[in-house]
A = this chain, B = another copy of it.
Amino acid sequence: MDISALLTSAGINTAVCVALFSLYSVLRKQPSLVSVYFGQKLAQASSKRHDPFWFGRLIPSASWIVKAWEASEDELYATGGVDAVVFLRAVVFSIRVFTVAAIVCLFLVLPLNYFGKEMSHKQIPDEPLNVFTIGNVKEGSKWLWAHCLALYIISCCACLLLYFEYKNITKMRLGHITASNSYPSHFTVIVRAIPWVKEESYNETVTKFFTDFYASSYLSHQMVYQSGAIQKLMSDAEKMYKMLKSTHMEKHCVPRLMRCGICGGTATSFKMLSNEPKSSRGESFFDGSDMRKKECGAALVFFRTRYAALVASEALQSPNPMSWVTDSAPEPRDIYWSNLCVPYRLFWIRKIAVIVASIFFVIFFLVPVVFTQSLVHLDKLKKIFPFLKDIGQRKILEQLISGYLPSVIFIIFLYVVPPLMLVFSTLEGAISRSGRKRSTCIKVLYFIIWNVFFANILTEAAIDHYQVSIKKLGDAKHIPNLLANAVPATATYFMTYVLTSGWASLSCELIQPFALLCNLFYRYILQNKDDSSYGTYTFPYHTEVPRVLLFGLLGLTCSILAPLILPFLLVYFVLAYLVYRNQILNVYVTKYETGGLYWPIVHNTTIFSLVLTQIIALGTFGIKESPIASGFTIPLIIGTLLFNEYCRQRFHPVFRKTPAKILIEMDRKDEHCGRLEEIHQKLQSVYCQFRSKSLNLHRTLDQNTTETVLDCTETVDVARLEDLEQNTPGKRSI
């Protein structure tokens, strides 16, 4: 592949990008698509623009770019939460590092590579790309110190930036914990693996255990029910509702039954609800003795203070570590109910099964990777398989096949991965949606780094060695040398990958083809004109974080070896910055978040990329016979690893445990303000296991009040709850 092929690819991609960005700027102005492109705004306010047509709707504009640029971090924090800010910080971090890297490498390293060997240069467009890589520098060259210097500058710069980002994000995480005054999760502990005692329901066992051992801090609890059985009841209730619909019931009656009917700790509370008008038939569904049979060995236990909940969640409760397993609870919206019902003793074997399945999946996935990568090396393949020579006759076709097609095929294959990994993470037993997404993110990251980066490099090495000779296999015995040989050679593929996968994925992200198709399907095939009925999406961290990190890895490893990739990457990151800001502000709804837990992933991956870059550089300097440059690289590797260890000691514990000091201070403040009692009352009804079902019902009931649906957990009617409290004296267990 030469410069002109690269430029062809870049041209196609730029054109596609500009077209799609313009298309987006038009589409977003269509009132009918407001639910696709303004999910976030729609969730915040139910106001709609009702101007049917104005001319500007059809003219592409760049106003969204300006808006995305101008938004402050506070605004982003308010709409996207800590995770969104962390993600954008990762993008900003990449922009900063690659700006430095681009300046250093394009002005210092690139000329040295280009003039590395005494040779007659062609005109630049016809120049093959490997002239710009370190492969062009002759052995024993004195100019390799410049590469080493560039490596030092990039590494130090990256480490410094990482340190300050980690520090800031730790502060942000702590701030997030303190700022959230009435997060119910702080007071709640999830207990799983409740032992089965004969002639006692799980409910009684939990009450006994916690009144016995946590008498002073235990408030109440709420059992988790087998979802299968209850959901059947719910659908029955729904049918009944539809039957009764024509009689024009009082608004909000049924959904309230659904929302709070099952949440309240003990079976007695169900009977209390029968006081509600018109819901007298509901009583027969929720019979106490019946519910007892449906109880799972899991419960949500509420404590009087945050600190008590923290202590209970961290301690090993029982001498048998497989019973009374406690974890800090996720937020009500974040909790993943169906995994709570799974017996705890199955999780260890599920986890192992998932690991094994993931490994098999990764192995199986090498097939498309190898196929894809081999297309890039069409010229090499032609020598091996002569029948391919016909294709080579038409130059444009060849450029298209080697420059564009591989990435496209590969991307299509890659679309299968995140949903599958999400299923794996669910099976693994995540108890929160955010935790599941984070676990998926890690799996996709491993997958993508292995299958995109290493598999490509190894395929390259294998094909390359087939072509050159068996002799080189001896040289490449050591991994650094193998990598050092293969990375510059694979840089071409990575450049096209950045262009296609990177730039195109951003356009895709903007246009939201899936949501758009859904919208059209609903609107024109189902004839359903309501905007709020296809739901909103949360930010897909599990696909976007690995993607950004992969590009970081590609950029760092290629930086000093094949610096030509850096401008394309910089463009990608700047576009990503704008696009993701726009998406966070307008499209995605933040229903749950991890509170910055993505940063350790970003940090560790960046350190991995840095060390890998340094190891590859070490191998390259070895091949190029420059002992001084090699010698100087080793302390850099050691320094980077030490820096990582320091960060792990200094910042990481805060991401695993919540500091006791902060929670104690929050408890005190609440006690001082007399707010604790109010929070305790809220707690009783805030965790609703069958909320999602009731939400759907709610929607069918009252299609215009989307905001009440989305604020369901926050807008609990305190006065009504107090009435309930008075009617259920046995509910509080102390």
In the assembled complex, A358 has its CB within 8 A of some CB on chain B: no
Among B315, B651, B664, contact of A660 (Cβ-Cβ < 8 Å): B315
Among B174, B310, B317, contact of A315 (Cβ-Cβ < 8 Å): B310
Report the Cα distance A278→B646, complex, angstroms.
Answer: 52
Contact A659 B318 (CB under 8 A): yes
Contact digits for A63-106, partner B, Cβ 8 Å, 1 yes 0 no? 00000000000000000000000000000000000000000000
CB contacts (< 8 Å) of A349 on chain B: these are 642, 645
* Closest partner residue, chain B, to A178 (CB atom): B319
In the assembled complex, A530 has its CB within 8 A of some CB on chain B: no
* Closest partner residue, chain B, to A663 (CB atom): B315
Among B319, B656, B657, B662, contact of A661 (Cβ-Cβ < 8 Å): B319
CB contact list, A627-649 vs B, under 8 A: 642, 645-646, 649
Given A315-B657, A653-B321, A659-B319: A213 and B664 within 8 A (CB)?
Answer: yes
Contact A316 B659 (CB under 8 A): yes
Report the Cα distance A646→B348, complex, angstroms.
Answer: 8
Given A213-B660, A651-B321: A645 and B310 within 8 A (CB)?
Answer: no
Contact A654 B174 (CB under 8 A): no
CB contacts (< 8 Å) of A320 on chain B: these are 650
In the assembled complex, A352 has its CB within 8 A of some CB on chain B: yes
* Closest partner residue, chain B, to A653 (CB atom): B321
Contact A352 B642 (CB under 8 A): yes
Given A321-B650, A322-B650: A645 and B311 within 8 A (CB)?
Answer: no
CB contacts (< 8 Å) of A311 on chain B: these are 311, 315
In the assembled complex, A658 has its CB within 8 A of some CB on chain B: yes
CB contact list, A295-347 vs B, under 8 A: 310-311, 314-322
Contact B314 A315 (CB under 8 A): yes
Contact B645 A317 (CB under 8 A): no
Contact A319 B642 (CB under 8 A): no
CB distance from A116 to the nearest CB of B (A): 36
* Closest partner residue, chain B, to A171 (CB atom): B319
Contact B321 A649 (CB under 8 A): yes
Report the Cα distance A170→B650, complex, angstroms.
Answer: 34
| Chain A contact residue count (CB 8 A cutoff) | 34
Contact B348 A317 (CB under 8 A): no
Report the Cα distance A80→B691, complex, angstroms.
Answer: 59
Report the Cα distance A526→B652, complex, angstroms.
Answer: 57
Contact A645 B352 (CB under 8 A): yes
Among B316, B318, B319, B654, contact of A316 (Cβ-Cβ < 8 Å): B654
Contact A654 B322 (CB under 8 A): no
* Closest partner residue, chain B, to A215 (CB atom): B664
* Closest partner residue, chain B, to A345 (CB atom): B649
CB contacts (< 8 Å) of A213 on chain B: these are 660-661, 664
Report the Cα distance A653→B314, complex, angstroms.
Answer: 12
CB contacts (< 8 Å) of A652 on chain B: these are 321
Given A642-B352, A645-B348: A661 and B318 within 8 A (CB)?
Answer: yes
Max chain B C-beta neighbours (<10 A), residue from A319, A645, A653, A661:
A319
CB distance from A637 to the nearest CB of B (A): 13
* Closest partner residue, chain B, to A209 (CB atom): B661
Contact A319 B174 (CB under 8 A): yes
CB contacts (< 8 Å) of A660 on chain B: these are 213, 315-317
CB contacts (< 8 Å) of A651 on chain B: these are 321
CB contacts (< 8 Å) of A657 on chain B: these are 315-316
CB contacts (< 8 Å) of A645 on chain B: these are 348-349, 352
CB contacts (< 8 Å) of A310 on chain B: these are 315
Among B319, B321, B659, contact of A317 (Cβ-Cβ < 8 Å): B659
Report the Cα distance A411→B664, complex, angstroms.
Answer: 57
CB contacts (< 8 Å) of A662 on chain B: these are 319
CB contacts (< 8 Å) of A174 on chain B: these are 319
- Of the A-B pairs whose beta carbons lie under 8 Å apart in the complex, a sample of 15, sorted by A's number, is A213-B661, A213-B664, A310-B315, A314-B315, A316-B659, A317-B659, A317-B661, A318-B659, A319-B654, A319-B661, A320-B650, A321-B653, A321-B654, A322-B650, A348-B646
The 4 closest A-B pairs by CB, nearest first: A321-B653, A316-B657, A315-B660, A348-B649
**A-B contact sample (19 more), CB < 8 A, given A310-B315, A321-B654:** A174-B319, A311-B311, A311-B315, A314-B315, A316-B653, A316-B657, A316-B659, A316-B660, A317-B660, A317-B661, A318-B661, A319-B654, A319-B661, A321-B650, A322-B649, A322-B650, A348-B649, A349-B642, A349-B645
